[in-house]
Amino acid sequence: MQLQRQRQITRQRGSALIEISLSYATLVIVALLTLKASVNATSGQTWTIKQTMTDAYITRESALASRIPFDTLVGASSPWPQNPTVSSSTVTLGKLPGGQEVTGTLHRTRFPDANNLTTAGGTGTATTNPSGTEAWKVQSILSYTVGDRQYVKSRTVMRIR
């Protein structure tokens, strides 16, 4: 009788150890699934944040191209060189939560209108362009990556004087 009682107590102790181990394993699995879900949610937000940053930056480029003085735009030190020359630079678009910088490559160029006079880069004449109107397409192209994909956004502004 005594021996039977000791075996029963030993079985109870062993089963408690198994229950604790199973509970711990279940807790670890739930924690890992929760971590994976939060990482997935954050990666989607990162894509959205980067898209918003790039939209804001390329909109700023359009505004700058619209308001820069015309003489500066067509001058020798223009931020938008005449095509086929393209100026390229690495720009900081912003920072993600945690301080990670988001960068992209900005390409700028400008195209003369075909009817511009020859002094303004076109093939127009005094007959086809009697007022001497000058028109330029100012183009900014922003390329950036999100994860392993590369994206490009561009804006073109028409300037006339």
Query: 148-159 pLDDT, tens per residue?
Result: 889 999 999 999
For residue 49 the two structure tokens come to 């944040």
Mean pLDDT for 22-32 is 92
Four-residue CA torsion sign, 119, 83, 158, 80: negative
Q: Where are the alpha helices (DSSP H) in the chain?
A: 2-67, 70-74
| CA 135/CA 113 separation, integer angstroms | 5
pLDDT of residue 10: 57
Say yes or no to pLDDT of 126 above 90.
Answer: no
Structure pTM?
0.71
Q: If you average pLDDT over residues 96-120, what whole number do you get?
A: 88
> What pLDDT is recorded for position 143?
96
Q: Distance between CA 58 and CA 104 in Å, rounded?
A: 11
* Tokens, residue 57: 């930056």
- CA 69 to chain CA centroid, Å, is 29
Closest CA to 79 of 66, 92, 95: 66
